[in-house]
Amino acid sequence: GAVVSQHPSWVICKSGTSVKIECRSLDFQATTMFWYRQFPKQSLMLMATSNEGSKATYEQGVEKDKFLINHASLTLSTLTVTSAHPEDSSFYICSAIKRGGPGDTQYFGPGTRLTVL
């Protein structure tokens, strides 16, 4: 099946620094990727839609200046958490849309655990 990877799988950073998380579709091209945030023992919350070659679309309540998304190629989207604070600590998950067949299929990455000290 299709594979989506994330790097790093976990990161610890100091408050005030920026952290970049990569999401790659390894064996297919994805014009659309999504970024989710998952709090402990809670559901996934959609943060933004990442479209290759255009600006990301953010969900209501998500600070676009805090969470910078770049979808520079058909296989890579990045999420940069700028000036991270402890409340940004969370599990970040990306997904990529593989088009074709009877409906697109959304494949998820394994997630990145961010801890801000």
Q: Under a CB-based contact definition with an 8 Å cutoff, are residues 94 and 36 in contact? A: yes
N-terminal to C-terminal alpha carbon distance within the chain: 37
**CA pair distance 78, 114, nearest whole angstrom:** 14
Report, in Å, the least distance between residue 15 CB and another protein.
27
Pick 63 or 104: Cβ nearer another protein: 104
- 25 makes contact with another protein (CB under 8 A): no
- 76 makes contact with another protein (CB under 8 A): no
Q: Give contact residues for another protein (rule: CB under 8 A).
A: 4, 32, 34, 41-46, 49, 93, 95, 97, 102-111
